[in-house]
Structure 1
């Protein structure tokens, strides 16, 4: 019986060692040099204006095994880049972003939807000018791979959502200047 007990114990230990380890959630830090939220809107029906923000920070948590995740992003609204210095100042005024009172905007996820092993939508709370609204970002691209230069696990994603700027107290000149604003975020993040 003693020999049988030792054999059983050895088999259990071997099975435990051979079983795949349960993956834990991984936390990634947003790479501010490769992450750019952009926004676009109609300008009097003449053209689509494109602008971006140059400073973004935050974290992404991903649990591949459980197919869950979380996103927490902060955008420095004073880093708006319209391509024209005078307009950068204009859009930071009270009628639009009011960066003197509200220097940042945030997005905090409340849930992530997956198809297979890839996220396809991120529900969350978007706060601009102190106004918080629920939004759903549609993920149009996602990849998870070792970063070729940093030799760390990395994620990359593109996501988009359309909001009404008037709902965030930034509706000056609407509807002549489009109320619908398309926000697109191109993000890279590196595992801590």
Structure 2
């Protein structure tokens, strides 16, 4: 590569990087259409997955700086479960108790270079720290999804029901679609 070509290439790279650094943070209203929020609980012979059908919140993110913040509320009764028996157990007073605690809420901020969502989860009337790992999915050089995953000890939130049949750890996964397509 001759000196002129190198200088032009370097100049374009600097302009491209400069343009990226000035990208404005974005805000996304979170709905079930762009956020797949699930819980995964180990039972005796299988894993029970629940999917929240009603949620609302806001995600603010800067794809260049990999910074973000989220505030999302989940309607407890909207947690879809595999069958009526499991639903009855999960919605009982010693588990989610939606009559007394109709919502759960998560508020968090990306830290550690955008790789950790550090936040607080309010569930069953109690608020405790809850951090999740963050991953980004790129499609054709553009950020398409932000995914989070983490596990918490349900007893810390007073979810004491089914202690003989359900694991104490609950895994939480969230897929947030940024490209207008429903998360899968």
Shorter chain as normaliser: what TM range? Answer: 0.7 to 0.9
State the match for 1:132 in structure 2.
127
- Give the number of equivalent residue pairs: 162
Partner SS, residue 57 of structure 2 = strand
* Unmatched 5+ stretches in structure 1: 1-18, 147-152
Partner SS, residue 89 of structure 2 = helix
In structure 2, the CA distance between the partners of 1:183 and 1:138, relative to structure 1 (3 Å rule), is same
State the match for 2:163 in structure 1.
174
How far does residue 90 in structure 1 lie from its aligned partner after superposition?
3.3
In structure 2, the CA distance between the partners of 1:29 and 1:96, relative to structure 1 (3 Å rule), is same
Query: TM-score, normalization: structure 1?
Result: 0.72
CA RMSD between the two structures: 2.6
> For residues 97 and 107 of structure 1, what CA distance do their matches in structure 2 show?
15
Query: Equivalent residues in 2 for 1:66-105 (5 A)?
Result: 66-105=65-104
> For residues 155 and 81 of structure 1, what CA distance do their matches in structure 2 show?
26
In structure 2, the CA distance between the partners of 1:50 and 1:67, relative to structure 1 (3 Å rule), is closer
Find out whether 1:185 has 2:174 as its counterpart: yes
> For residues 85 and 168 of structure 1, what CA distance do their matches in structure 2 show?
24
Q: Which runs of 4+ in 1 moved over 6 A?
A: none
In structure 2, the CA distance between the partners of 1:65 and 1:188, relative to structure 1 (3 Å rule), is closer
> For residues 60 and 189 of structure 1, what CA distance do their matches in structure 2 show?
10
Larger radius of gyration: 1
1:60 and 1:189 in contact (8 A); partners too:
no
